[in-house]
Amino acid sequence: MYNKLQYISQGNTIKKQLYAIHSALDNGCDWIQMRFKNPNVLEVLTLAEAVKKLTQDYTSTFIINDNVQLAKQLDANGVHLGLTDMGIIEARSILGPTKIIGGTANTFEDILRRAAEDCDYIGLGPFQYTTTKENLSPILGLEGYHSIINQMQNNGLTIPIYAIGGITLNDVEALMEIGIHGIAVSSLITQNKNPLELITQLNEKLYVSI
Q: How many CB atoms lie within 10 A of CB 11?
A: 17
Residues in the chain: 210
Is 84 within a domain?
yes
Is 96 within a domain?
yes
Is 82 within a domain?
yes
Mean pLDDT by 10 residues, the chain (210 residues): 95 97 97 94 97 98 98 98 96 98 97 96 92 73 97 97 97 96 97 96 86
Distance CA 137, CA 172 (A): 21
Is 11 within a domain?
yes
Q: Which whole-number Å values give the CA distances from 87 to 33, 35, 40, 168, in the listed order?
A: 18, 18, 23, 31
Nearest CA among 80, 86, 100, 73 for reference residue 36: 80
pLDDT for 208 equals: 83
Is 210 within a domain?
no
* CATH assignment of the domain containing 155: 3.20.20.70
pLDDT for 61 equals: 98
Is 47 within a domain?
yes
Domain residue limits at 17? 5-205
Nearest CA among 109, 72, 112, 110 for reference residue 92: 72
Is 28 within a domain?
yes
pLDDT for 105 equals: 97
Q: Which whole-number Å values give the CA distances from 162 to 5, 42, 74, 104, 176, in the listed order?
A: 9, 31, 25, 9, 10
Please enumerate in sequence order all residues whose Cβ is within 8 A of that of 54, keeping only pairs 6 or more positions apart, or say none.
Answer: 18, 21, 22, 25, 32, 60
Nearest CA among 79, 90, 127 for reference residue 105: 127
Distance CA 166, CA 179 (A): 18
How many domains does the chain contain in total? 1
pLDDT for 21 equals: 98
Is 24 within a domain?
yes
pLDDT for 210 equals: 46
Looking from the CA of 49 toward its CB, the CA atoms found within 13 Å total: 7
